[in-house]
Amino acid sequence: MISIMKQFGYTESEMNIYMTLVEHGEMTGYEVSKKSGVPRSKVYNHLERLIQKGIVLVNKNEPKLYSSISTEEFVKSLKMTTTTNINKIEEFMNQIHKKSVNNDLLWQLNEREHVLQKVHHMIDQAEQSLYIQIWDESLTDVIQEALTKAEARLDQFVCILFSTKSTYTLPFKRFYSHGFEMDKVKDMNGQWINLVSDDEVLFGTLDEVCDVIWTQNQAMRLLSKEYIKHDAYTLKIIKEHTQELQTFYGNNFEKIRNIY
């Protein structure tokens, strides 16, 4: 909580004071210091700043008592301020003349959090087509929601779902359960992400070591898209002709990988 609130300009002492007032109601400055652990020599300066920020109230009479606004009002205020600031940033950004990215370069992403943010953005922005291979461990709530909306609006939509626990559940219909995860993990040396959204590609390992590239390179786009499509072709055939294929390739289709 403290770490998050620092992003909104609140110090640890300020949040300790606010939460103390929320939990205990109106208090004197001395009582706030005693309950919050903020030194008495500093507590009044912090209280004054919180009053200026509008989340702490002070009465006009003596002795001075301090109180907090409700947590609901505080959160609503944060949302309004954040939305206002984001709108100002967006307005400013839209005025900048943007130079196009070199389509042939491969750009590297090494942080899982940044990769998942990119995944969500690419899914959300897809206008014509979306092809994706994704593991259930990478399916955050926002990514799952974005995929659900994309499946509803796009005709060219292919999703291959991988699951270490063989649990294949998504809130939409157009997806293929892979079923050969252990073999693929050996092939790829871990889990990965493969996403083609219109003319953008995101591909790479997304495991203990995060090594992912983003590009608009045409050759890379065609390669990644065909990889996903051929996975879908194979899974569709297996689903529609399971018993017949098991006769030739074994109950777990173990012989289907004997290509050497």
pLDDT tens per residue across all 260 residues of the chain: 888 999 899 999 999 999 999 999 999 999 999 999 999 999 999 999 999 999 999 998 888 999 999 999 999 999 999 999 999 999 999 988 777 767 789 999 999 999 999 999 999 999 999 999 999 999 999 999 999 999 999 999 999 999 988 888 899 999 999 888 888 888 888 899 999 999 999 999 988 889 999 999 999 999 999 999 999 999 999 889 989 988 988 888 888 878 88
Q: Which amino acid is at 191?
A: Q
Give the chain's domains with CATH numbers.
Answer: 2-90 (1.10.10.10), 107-257 (3.30.870.10)
Task: Tell me how far apart the alpha carbons of residues 145 and 158 are, in angstroms, rounded to a whole number.
Answer: 16
Look-up of token digits 């939509």: 157
Reading the block at residue 15, the tokens are: 């949040």
Q: Is 2 helix (H, G, I), strand (E, B) or coil?
A: helix
- Taking phi over 0 as left and psi of -120 to 50 as alpha, with beta for the rest, 192 belongs to beta
Q: Are 36 and 43 in contact (CB under 8 A)?
A: yes
Q: Which amino acid is at 122?
A: M
pTM of the model: 0.74
Choose among 181, 225, 229, 175: nearest CA to 203.
225
